[in-house]
A and B are shown apart, each in its own frame.
Chain A
């Protein structure tokens, strides 16, 4: 092969390589105003009735999903992003449900219980391809600051929504799906037998420290008591 031809071929290959890298780079979605959704709880969840009045202060909400891009909820077609971190969305949703029920403490010092929230899943999970499968999973570590006793309450919510063809419909369906899954997870938390039993144990421990809850620990899963509802 002549040197001129070789040069031309190498230039062509180089151009192809650059083109490919640009093309693949373009697939990586970036957050823009037109592909960002705002997830809010449509309606505050009404918690169950508790035997004893108490207040909760949310101390921390931490992401334990291990997802490097927690705000990216849908990757194809330029991606769909949430406008805030899942931890912020969950904190707002929890506070919005606690407040109307009179369960939200004004500050940490006056609260009967403190809550540390760990988010395990927030977004879309693998589905059949014919629908969107929204999944929200979190765990709340309730602590009685007076006794130091802790109890873990796990909650999960799911939602199935129809797929769409148009980008704006996909965005709308994903948003609705996430909001429904979030609402479902909060219903599971506030109306769950686990929360009822955890509060009962922690408040009982305050009255009688000898028969307290489990040894204080702040790691999720350490005091996994999951009583079954009737």
Chain B
């Protein structure tokens, strides 16, 4: 019985160690800019506002950045080399088809949004990563739900990219 407790305690401590490693701070600041829309994309301005807010919230949750700055914010000179800027664009949006979704199912007729995000170094503007994200949501859901899904996906992809680049180094 005592051995089981000891094993469980060890497992818990190891788990905590892993989580602590995940929350390592990689950059001092990350500035998020509002996503721009390509011509013909039928999404409201409220969508880009909400995407901006959700993305900032999701990036804060990752704990990879000391501070997630708002658009147009000045960064201290000392922090500039370790700061990144996220610029993005909405590339493609398919409205989806509710009838298709109901009749066929299997996520056919879902809304589809494609976004490109370019992450640059604040100091010299060099491109660090480029993310191509795609999200799909049911057609009867709100735009905001799609923005939330997109923000979560972008934050997840960025986390993976940063980790990969650090492992290479």
Using a CB–CB cutoff of 8 Å, the interface residues on chain A facing chain B are: 48, 125-131, 133, 135, 156-160, 184, 187-188, 191-194, 196, 226, 228-230
Contacts and interface: CB of A to CB of B under 8 A. Distances in A.
Contacts of A226: 72
Contacts, number: 68
B74 A160 contact: no
B71 interface: yes
Contacts of A184: 70
A10 B122 CA distance: 74
B27 interface: no
B74 A135 contact: no
A171 B142 CA distance: 24
B53 A158 contact: yes
B54 to A, nearest CB: 6
A127 B146 CA distance: 11
B80 interface: yes
Contact of A135 (B49, B70, B148): B49
Q: Is the interface of A mostly helix, strand, loop or mixed?
A: mixed
Nearest to B123: A230
Contact of B50 (A127, A191, A230): A127
12 contacts: A128-B144, A128-B147, A128-B148, A129-B142, A133-B50, A133-B144, A157-B70, A158-B56, A184-B70, A191-B73, A192-B72, A193-B73
Interface string B62-95: 0000000011111100001000000000000000
A160 B53 contact: yes
Contacts of A160: 53-54, 57
Nearest to B145: A128
Nearest to A157: B70
A129 B70 contact: no
A193 B72 contact: yes
B46 A192 contact: no
A230 B49 CA distance: 22
Contacts of B75: 229-230
Nearest to A137: B49
Nearest to A153: B72
A133 B74 contact: no
Contacts of A193: 72-74
Contacts of A194: 72
A193 B75 CA distance: 9
Contacts of B145: 128-130
Given A128-B144, A196-B74, 17 more contacts: A125-B46, A127-B144, A129-B142, A130-B148, A135-B49, A135-B53, A158-B53, A160-B57, A184-B70, A188-B72, A188-B73, A191-B73, A192-B72, A192-B74, A193-B73, A226-B72, A229-B73
A65 to B, nearest CB: 15
B53 A133 contact: yes
Contact of B144 (A129, A156, A188, A229): A129
Contacts of B53: 133, 135, 158-160
